[in-house]
Amino acid sequence: MSGLEHLWAGWRQSYVEGLADADATGPVSGEGGLSLFESIEQADIPDDESFIVHRGATCFVLMNAYPYSSGHMLVLPRRAVAALGDLTEEEYGELWGTVRTAVVALKEGLSPQGVNVGLNLGRAAGAGIEGHLHVHVVPRWSGDTNFTTTTAGTRVLPEALGETWHRLRSVWPD
């Protein structure tokens, strides 16, 4: 079998409704010229519906709507910047402090055997949303990549996004 198969998840429509893709060469954007992430963060939607785990002065944490594994979070500045060098000192400090807190929360809330932390800066590096940098914090377990992903091109997630959000939010140190 070649290519990626689709697993329909209609419950995600409310998450993406109202947000539009820019042209194929541009970043995904939301309403009013905001980035997708700015649109989510600034929307008048409760955190348990937008899956925002934490809001800081300059950064916030969002559950990834298309996770590699249950608990996959994005740590990002509140304003859209494309490069690490575009961050203010305050944003830079809060971003990396929040990444550390996210790892601690994952370990306490989900007990993963490992954690991947990383950024994809630029399209060539795999950035899907180039204009708004974000740090991926991904819990990992031995065997979490199995034959289904390899042979069927489908990820199987053992828990709904909202349930994982509740688990992480309950252990997030505020």
Number of neighbours of residue 16 by Cβ within 10 angstroms: 14
Residue pLDDT, tens place only, 91-104: 999 999 999 999 99
DSSP-derived secondary structure letter, 17: T
Classify residue 6 by burial, with Cβ atoms within 10 Å: 0-12, 13-18, 19+: exposed
- Domain covering 10-171 assigned CATH 3.40.50.11260 in the classification: no
Spans of the chain below 50 pLDDT: 1, 15-27, 147-152
User: What pLDDT does residue 42 have?
Assistant: 94
Catalytically annotated residue among 54, 72, 134, 136: 134
Q: Taking the domains of the chain in order of start, what are their residue ranges?
A: 10-171
6 catalytic? Reply is: no
pLDDT of residue 71: 92
pLDDT tens digit sequence for 66-79: 888 889 999 999 99
**pTM of the predicted model as reported, rounded to 2 decimal places:** 0.75
